[in-house]
Amino acid sequence: MGFSDFFKKKTSSNVAKDRLKLVLVSDRANCSPEIMEQMKNDIINVISKYVEIDTDGLDIKITQTESEGNNGTVPALFANIPIKDLKAHK
């Protein structure tokens, strides 16, 4: 959140916009929040085998991204996974 946002009152139209953006991400991905949570846990489990990750800073979501062809946007899995320790577990 930026400094100016701190003083700006959140209007009901902004609330509507934010709620819509969230709900449309799961609508478009045809993927419920529960499935997202399961997928997130599975990804954590797999990656934790190799490196130590910061599970609190983890961010996984489905977004829209420009496709390589010119047929508009396609859904994409976006994962931001902060690594705490790169040393491989032996």
Rounded Cα–Cα distance for residues 67 and 74 (Å): 6
Interface residues with other proteins (CB under 8 A)? 11-14, 16-17, 19-21, 23-24, 27-28, 64, 72-73
Nearer residue to other proteins within complex by CB, 45 or 71: 71
Give the angle subtended at the CA of 33 by the CAs of 58 and 74, to the nearest 5°. 80
Smallest distance from the beta carbon of 19 to other proteins, in angstroms? 6
Q: Which is nearer to other proteins, 14 or 32 (CB)?
A: 14
Q: Which residues are paired to 79 by β-bridges?
A: 60
